[in-house]
Structures are given as C-alpha cells and as structure tokens.
A and B are shown apart, each in its own frame.
Chain A
Amino acid sequence: MGNADQELMERLAAGDAGAFETVFRTHYRLLLRYACKIVGDKAAAEDVVQLVFANIWEGRKRLKVKQIKPYLLRATHNKSLTFLMQHQRQSSLELLPPMAEEEVDEVDEQREEVVRLLIDALPEQRRRIFKMSRLDGLKYREIATQLGLSVKTVEAQMGKALQFLRSSLPQVLKNSEVSD
C-alpha cells in the first residue's frame, strides 16, 4: 500500500498525467465531502478541491509524499480554511472549527443500500423530483417546468424527501443491527 503510493507519487512528480488522474479519481469524492463539511456547499467545495489538485500539479516536482491520503486530506483541510478566510475577511483562524482529519467516514455500502431502498419508498412524485435533482442534477426551475409544477412545490417536496430519508435511516439501521 505505502509502496504503491510512493510509486504513484514518483510518477506524478515526473509529470505522468496518468498517475495524476489516478490520484484524482481515487480520492475526489472523499475530498469533496471533507471540504463540503467545512465550507458548507457543493460549489464552494468543488472549487476548493480543484485548487488542491491544481497546486499539487503545479508543485509536483518538489512533492515528497509517502502516503497520499493523509496528505490530500490535510491539503483539503487547509484550503477549506483559506476559502473561509477569503469569504470572511477579518475572521481569525481561532474561530474556525477544528476538524479532526480522522472524522472522515469511509463509504459504507450497507447504509447506502438502505438509502436507496428508502428513496424507492417515497411517494411517486416526491421520488421523481428527488431523483431529478440528486441524480440528473437538474435545477429546481427545470424540474418545475418539466413536471408542470411551481418552484415552491419542488422546493417543498425536496425538503420532505430529504427529511424522510434522514429520519428513517437510524431506525432502519437499528433494526438491521438487531438482525445481525
């Protein structure tokens, strides 16, 4: 594992775009989620992760990293704080949340499966709206136009869908733990 990391980083330092792409694709989702926890919205988190990787590529020749993931998490943490600083001019770093790097949970297949089942349990229109937003990436306005609804309705349905997923999740998981 460590050796594979090291080899990948050596190739990256030598300007191997394939190695860079591998590192990017392997960690993108995790870093996006990490940044989103701190900066609070997806678009801002995307900008932060772009900067992290742009900086890595820019400084690749001077890169001395043995383990990729902790390095990427730290870089994302720092860039996220910088983002907050830039958007809150006079703030001091003490006021910003201390984030434990270990706090990032890995993808949990079982819980994801449960969420998928819960989505299927939504009332038809609500499920359709939720999928159009979450999976197809459509804007509320586009969903409203396609379904002949008002944007307000789409907004309300999205809130209800998300609320349902969140409040049902702990119960379903508890039940499945009992059956284990």
Chain B
Amino acid sequence: MKQTTGIDAALAARLLAGEASESEKERHRISLAVDADYRSDWAQWLWVWDAAGTEEVDRRDCDVAWTRLQRKIHSPLFLLKERTLALSLAAAAVLLLALLLPLLWTPAANQPELLVTAGGEDIQEVVLEDGTRVSLNANSRLSFPEEFGPHERRVYLHGEAWFEVEAQGGRPFYVETEDLLVKVVGTAFNVRSWPEPTGVSVEVGSGRVEVHSGLEGSEHILLQKGEGLVFHRSTKRLEQVALNRNYLAWKTGQLIFEDTPLSEVFQTLERTYRRPITADHPTIFEEKLGGSFSHQSFEHVVEVLCTTFQLEQHTVNGVVVLSRK
C-alpha cells in the first residue's frame, strides 16, 4: 500500500537488468540520495533480484569480475602507478644516497615507459617517436615506450585521446585501455575510457581500426571512417552505434546541434563536459535545439538552453535538473 512514491516494477527491472537509460539512472541516483523511503524501496527490489539468482549465476558473475580485476592489476599502467608509489616512499633515502655517492649513481637501465598526464582543464599534445600525434584530454594518462619495438607500436590509455597514426606497413599500432584493445593500420580516431558506465567508446575520423573487447582474438568489430562503437561494461559487449557528430568537441571546442532533441543534447553535454544534466518532465526531452557553441562553458550552454526553452535550472546533488518555469 505504501507503493505510491516507490519505484515502478518495470523501472526497477530495467535498473537491475542493466537496461535503464543514463537519464533514468541519473534520476534514480538523485532520488536515492535525497529520499529515505525511496532508498528502502530500492533495497527491497534489490533483495528480490538477488534472491532470484542461483549459486551458479553468482559464481559466473564472480568469475567475470575476478578476470576483470586480474586484467586491471596486471596492466602496465597499474604496475607503473604501483612502482611510482613505492618510489616516492623511498625517495628521501634515494636522494640522500645520490647526494652522498654521486659517482656510484648511474641512471636506471632504459626505463621502458614514459608517462604523459593531462590534469585539470588542459589538453596535452604529444608527438610519439614514430610521428603519431596524440591529443590527450584533461584528466587523462597515456603511457608508451620511449622507442617502439620493431614489430608493433603499443600505448596504454586512461581517459580520452585523439590519435593520428602514421601508417607503417607491418608495424601495427595498438591502443590498450582497461577494457579494450584497438588495433590500427593508419588512421585518425578517438578513444574514450572513462570510469562512467557509458564512458568507453571509440570513434573513427579516417581509415580503419579493429576494436577488441579484451585481448587480441576476442570479440571484435571493424570500424571505418565515420563509425563509432560503445563498450558496455556490464555485459562486456561491443555495440556499433551512430557516430555522435560532436564526439570531438572536447578537442575542437565546437558543439553543433541541428534539430537535435534535448535528450541527445544532454548526452552530448555529459560526454563533452562530464557533467550530469537532465530534466524533470518528459516533454522537455523532446524539445529540439538548433545552433552552435564555440568554446563555451557548460554553464553558458545550460543558460542558453534555459532562455531558449523558457526553463529554469536547479542543482540537485550536483546534477543540473531543468524544469518548466
């Protein structure tokens, strides 16, 4: 009888089966954060769903998670991070030793990985040893050897980057992320590997790439110019999708909308600025936006949306929520 403010069964099923849309999940998170009744209602649905599983299913989920964890803690970026931590702990002692015994101090034999980090708001431009150009988005890390081997070129990415790869016959270029392996012949493409559930995707500007959902030989999709894919972490599946025309906005600063429903505009803004935004009424999602923005802040774009459609904005737990005036 107290179901009035609770979660609708079909929505609960979508949330639990991994079928809910991003805006549904966002609204769900907001309600979870502010409403205690909603929270206990959610706990009930969760309980029913968990109880409906079997030991076999639990074991399978656990296996998948363990494999994923193994992959993560054995990735070069992770090992590098570990090493850096250990180094900083030992730093004082090493420095002292170096000062006392400068003659005995020899540089470590060819340190294999270089690490570029773009922090804060800045985008970093990097040119690799083979001439490949990389634009690294803010809050992203790229690690790569000082010199590539004779048979392949391989880099490791956390975050998002645009690559313009020089073709070299017989020496393929690989981008590894926590979830994906992208194999390149000679092309320009974008790779995103953010922690958000919808944060993993690949988009191709020219040429061809082969994207693997794991090691080489696993499920893969061949992408051509103008194509994109997303990786669903929950199911470990790749899905080819229409290219979001604004996929490079983080790099170019240009956002262009042409008769675009606000539901799509929200997705694009989230992807570009990594800031959650939604609306509290279904008709708002259907409004269409035309126009372009050049190097504008998230706040400015939201302001324009409000003026154009006569909406007002509230911030609920950091999610910008638009509603009718």
**Which residues of A line the B interface, CB within 8 A?**
21, 24-25, 28-29, 32-33, 36-44, 46-47, 49-50, 53-54, 57-59, 84-91, 95-97, 105, 108, 111-112, 114-116, 119, 130, 133-135, 137, 139-140, 155-156, 158-163, 165-166, 169
Q: B52-60, B153-161, B211-219, B221-229: which lies at the A interface?
A: B52-60
Contact with A along B23-65 (1 / 0, CB 8 A): 0011011101110100100111111111111100110111001
Given A47-B197, A135-B53, A159-B8, A28–B29 Cβ distance below 8 Å?
no
Q: Does B73 contact A (CB under 8 A)?
A: yes
Give the chain A neighbours of B197 by CB distance below 8 A. 41, 43-44, 47
Interface size on B, residues (CB 8 A): 65
**B318–A89 CB distance below 8 A:** yes
Q: Does B109 contact A (CB under 8 A)?
A: no
Closest Cβ–Cβ distance, residue B286 to chain A (whole Å): 19
Measured in the bound complex, the distance between the Cα atoms of B35 and A97 in whole Å is: 9
- Chain B residue at minimal CB-CB distance from A89: B318
Measured in the bound complex, the distance between the Cα atoms of B275 and A116 in whole Å is: 41
Q: Does B19 contact A (CB under 8 A)?
A: yes
Other CB < 8 Å A-B pairs besides A33-B50, A88-B318, A134-B57, 11 of them? A24-B66, A37-B42, A42-B18, A47-B195, A84-B29, A139-B18, A140-B19, A155-B13, A156-B10, A159-B12, A166-B44
**A40–B15 CB distance below 8 A:** yes
The main secondary structure of chain A at its interface with chain B is helix
Given A43-B197, A84-B29, A165-B52, A158–B66 Cβ distance below 8 Å?
no
Give the chain A neighbours of B114 by CB distance below 8 A. none
Q: Does B85 contact A (CB under 8 A)?
A: yes
- Chain B residue at minimal CB-CB distance from A99: B39
**B25–A25 CB distance below 8 A:** no
Among B11, B16, B45, the most chain A Cβ lie within 10 Å of the Cβ of B16
Task: How many A-B residue pairs have C-beta atoms within 8 angstroms? Tell me.
Answer: 168
Given A28-B65, A41-B197, A97–B8 Cβ distance below 8 Å?
no
**B72–A111 CB distance below 8 A:** no
Given A47-B197, A159-B9, A40–B50 Cβ distance below 8 Å?
no
Given A28-B65, A41-B15, A119-B52, A89–B20 Cβ distance below 8 Å?
no
**A95–B34 CB distance below 8 A:** yes
Measured in the bound complex, the distance between the Cα atoms of B275 and A58 in whole Å is: 29
Cross-interface CB contact of A97 among B9, B39, B54, B68, cutoff 8 Å: B39
Given A28-B65, A112-B51, A155-B19, A162–B9 Cβ distance below 8 Å?
yes
Measured in the bound complex, the distance between the Cα atoms of B17 and A29 in whole Å is: 16
- Chain A residue at minimal CB-CB distance from B27: A40
Interface of chain B residues 283 through 325 with chain A (CB within 8 A):
315, 317-319
Give the chain A neighbours of B68 by CB distance below 8 A. 50
- Chain A residue at minimal CB-CB distance from B197: A43
**A111–B43 CB distance below 8 A:** no
Measured in the bound complex, the distance between the Cα atoms of B235 and A42 in whole Å is: 11
Given A41-B20, A90-B315, A115-B48, A166–B73 Cβ distance below 8 Å?
no
**Listed A/B pairs (20) with beta-carbon separation below 8 Å:** A21-B66, A28-B66, A32-B61, A37-B39, A37-B42, A39-B29, A40-B42, A42-B18, A50-B68, A84-B317, A86-B195, A88-B30, A89-B275, A95-B317, A96-B33, A135-B57, A137-B60, A137-B235, A140-B17, A162-B12
Give the chain A neighbours of B105 by CB distance below 8 A. none
Measured in the bound complex, the distance between the Cα atoms of B317 and A85 in whole Å is: 8
**B72–A28 CB distance below 8 A:** no
Contact with A along B250-278 (1 / 0, CB 8 A): 00000000000000000000000001100
- Chain B residue at minimal CB-CB distance from A136: B57
Measured in the bound complex, the distance between the Cα atoms of B47 and A108 in whole Å is: 10
**A97–B32 CB distance below 8 A:** yes
Cross-interface CB contact of B78 among A54, A90, A108, A119, cutoff 8 Å: A54
